[in-house]
Structure 1
Amino acid sequence: MASLKTDLYRWLEDSRDGDVVARWINAALILLVLVTVAISVLETVPGIDAASGGWLADVQMVAGLVFLGEYLARLYVADLHPPLRRHGPVAARLRYAVQPMALIDLLAVLPLLLVLVLPVSALPALAVLRLLRFLKLVRYSPALRSLVSAVVGERRALLGSLFIVCGVILVASTLMYMVEHDVQPDVFGSIPLAAWWAVTTATTTGYGDAVPVTPLGRLIAAVVMMTGYALLALPVGIIASAFAREVHSRDFVVTWSMVSRVPLFEDLNAAEVAEIAKLLRSHTVLAGEVIAERGDAAHCMYFVAAGEVQVDLPTETVRLGEGAFFGELALLRQRRRAATVRAVTRTQLLVLDAGALRQLLLRNPHIAARIEREAASREAWGQRSAGDIAEEELTQAEALDIPPDAGSR
């Protein structure tokens, strides 16, 4: 059972490269999302729905069952996520259930559950809910994730641009009301009526149902139209520049989410995590490549962002997965490496150089105390750790059902 749970976690949640089963599962889920969204659109066409003979509804039912199984499976393996392991099985699953992607997965399941309780007259409304399954693609699309991240990251700037747009529309509506309300009371007889003209003009839509006829009114309209281009360019420019930054940094950058997944940093606030992210650099190693050699001088410490590494201790071999960390004790104590560490799979590492570590210790005593406390616990743990890994990592390896000597077989 533990092995099945580990496999499910690797297939559904692990981000490592090269897993054929995970790729096939992701491809099947993506295809199913696209098929159900297309069917939801086709079901709104009376002729197509009637000619289908009910098989479109059957496909939707099967898809709903698949999404339900996926949701339950993700909840089942939620306590294997590195940031959630310490909370226990129940609390880890509750914390996972309120995360954005888990809520999207729940939305994908709701049509299956609601079809059993809603009256027949309400069933067409499920088409809208089924279309929300399209949001599931965010999990599998780096481009969509980058776009969402760009919008969220620039939310304050976008909100500011919205206030500017609203201000321009309000001013334009007021001016046009003052100039045109006597001439066209049915169109510009009040500021709310003039607001419709201001919105269509500022957005360069111009339906033509409200047109100023006085010279001053036309002058105001010309200014509003020219201003409209700037108003549209403002939020578009903000999102475009933010999206470009996200796309350029998509090839494994040091992001807030990566750092926050590391158990050592999971309790830190956003400002502290952001400070650490600035000091870290990314490094990708291929399967079998040596990361640190026993006896080498220590120049940095490592965090496993994705993948798996193998630590060859004097008495045994241990495998560390996502969220694990190693090498800080030799760095802090200025010792040589006591173990050889190599990549088992393609692995993405976050690297904290010696200079960056010293800078971090000086800038943030709170984080320094956490790292020093962890180093002290590793020293006190004894010979088994050999100064490179802690009991926490061995506990995680055992939780993933990885035998300590797996790498020696």
Structure 2
Amino acid sequence: MIDKDNLKRNIYNIIFKSNTPQGKAFDIYLIIAIFTSVLLVIFDSVPYVHEKYGVYLVGFETFITILFLIEFILRIYCLNRPWKYVLSFYGIIDFLSIVPSILVFFFTGTQVLGIIRLLRVIRIFRVFNLNKFIRETTSFWQVLQKSFHKILIFMIFALFASVIIGAFMYVVENSVNPAFSSIPKGIYWAVVTLTTVGYGDITPVTNIGQFFSVIVMVLGYSIIAVPTGIFSAEFVKNKIQEDHIYKCSHCKKPIEPNDPFCKYCGTQQPESSPTLKKNE
């Protein structure tokens, strides 16, 4: 009789834990499989390679996808609250890495989206104990979340501005310039110009249109500067907050300034600074 609880625990230790020999070996093999899968997708997109070796590449890719599917099912099986994993960042990435190979049966060419599996390699930070990179990645996402709403509001106003500018350019250029044949074409020009991309496929020919283009080009720099400034300000603020957080001298987890012992590991804190060490 198989002990299901023991089986789930063993699967969990192998799949989710990287601090055991079996878990680390599993993660390394997983990373190798991810890189192999991505390379298969890249090479399969080359016409010559696809024509000559396409059948073998697709077969190998299908085999790896089946392994990923089995892994995903095992991850869900060994958890007591599987939805917590499924809705997490890693869970969503793991699921999305399987979807393209399934969609290929319904939509042609979707296997190329399997390149998203490369995001799974983020686990390399956990496997090789690159704690500094993990902390910096966490800090980056925290800053991104804090500045998201401010940047979103700015981008909405930028979108509204693109629509207004596009409509204005359509009115000015439409009668003499066939490139501005509709308002959507004007909006396209406005977005390309505001973002300082400047493809050059649509250009104004009237004096008013060219003068207005200069203004739009100058305003375009703010499209880059404002979101960058918002993100940078939040990053600096987050760094200052981190530097003022008291942490345990042993496990480095945050604790209260006057706690003589760490509530996580129980380590007695140094008497200096007052009985604690700040983040090093």
TM-score norm. by structure 1 comes to 0.51
Select 2:95's aligned residue among 92, 99, 106: 106
Distance 1:96 1:190, change over 3 A: closer
Select 1:152's aligned residue among 145, 154, 172: 145
Q: Which whole-Å deviations, capped at 9, do the CAs of 1:131-190 have from their partners, x for residues lacking one?
A: 222232344453666555543332212211211211332332244344434443x23465
Distance 1:200 1:148, change over 3 A: same
1:125 and 2:91 equivalent? Answer: no
Which residue is equivalent to 1:337?
Answer: none
Distance 1:64 1:166, change over 3 A: same
Which residue is equivalent to 1:137?
Answer: 121
Per mean C-alpha deviation after superposition, the further-off stretch among 58-67 and 220-229 is 58-67
Which residue is equivalent to 2:9?
Answer: 6
**Cα distance, 1:110 vs structure 2:** 3.6
Count of residue correspondences: 249
**Cα distance, 1:216 vs structure 2:** 3.1
1:63 and 2:64 equivalent? Answer: yes
How far apart are the structure 2 equivalents of 1:241 and 1:30?
A: 35
- What is the SS of the residue equivalent to 2:109? helix
1:213 and 2:205 equivalent? Answer: yes
How far apart are the structure 1 equivalents of 2:139 and 2:64?
A: 27
**Cα distance, 1:224 vs structure 2:** 0.6
The answer (yes or no) to whether the contact 1:138–1:144 under 8 Å persists in 2 is: no
Q: Which has the higher helix share?
A: 2
The answer (yes or no) to whether the contact 2:172–2:209 under 8 Å persists in 1 is: yes
1:302 and 2:267 equivalent? Answer: no
Displaced runs of 4+ in structure 1, greater than 6 A?
243-246
Select 2:179's aligned residue among 187, 193, 218: 187
Distance 1:145 1:124, change over 3 A: farther
Residues 171-182 of structure 1: pairs in structure 2 closer than 5 A: 171-182=164-175
- Unaligned ranges ≥5, structure 1: 80-91, 255-277, 287-297, 304-308, 310-340, 343-352, 355-409
TM-score norm. by structure 2 comes to 0.70
Select 2:225's aligned residue among 210, 233, 246: 233
The answer (yes or no) to whether the contact 1:172–1:198 under 8 Å persists in 2 is: yes
How far apart are the structure 2 equivalents of 1:164 and 1:124?
A: 36
Distance 1:175 1:123, change over 3 A: closer
| Amino acid paired to 1:93 | P
1:76 and 2:77 equivalent? Answer: yes
Higher radius of gyration, 1 or 2: 1
How far apart are the structure 2 equivalents of 1:154 and 1:165?
A: 16
How far apart are the structure 1 equivalents of 2:237 and 2:75?
A: 31
How far apart are the structure 2 equivalents of 1:93 and 1:190?
A: 50
**Cα distance, 1:42 vs structure 2:** 1.4
Q: Which whole-Å deviations, capped at 9, do the CAs of 1:67-90 have from their partners, x for residues lacking one?
A: 1232123223322xxxxxxxxxxx
The answer (yes or no) to whether the contact 1:32–1:63 under 8 Å persists in 2 is: yes
- Cα RMSD, aligned residues only: 3.7
Residues 209-288 of structure 1: pairs in structure 2 closer than 5 A: 209-239=201-231, 281-283=246-248, 285=250
Residues 306-345 of structure 1: pairs in structure 2 closer than 5 A: none
Which residue is equivalent to 1:168?
Answer: 161
Percent identity (aligned): 24
How far apart are the structure 2 equivalents of 1:174 and 1:201?
A: 14
| Amino acid paired to 1:228 | G
Distance 1:166 1:107, change over 3 A: closer
| Amino acid paired to 2:184 | P
How far apart are the structure 2 equivalents of 1:21 and 1:104?
A: 23
Distance 1:8 1:244, change over 3 A: farther
Which residue is equivalent to 2:129?
Answer: none
How far apart are the structure 2 equivalents of 1:284 and 1:5?
A: 35
The answer (yes or no) to whether the contact 1:61–1:112 under 8 Å persists in 2 is: yes
How far apart are the structure 1 equivalents of 2:173 and 2:103?
A: 52
How far apart are the structure 1 equivalents of 2:146 and 2:196?
A: 28
- Unaligned ranges ≥5, structure 2: 126-133, 252-258, 268-273, 276-280
Distance 1:21 1:168, change over 3 A: same
How far apart are the structure 2 equivalents of 1:53 and 1:25?
A: 29
How far apart are the structure 1 equivalents of 2:27 and 2:84?
A: 23
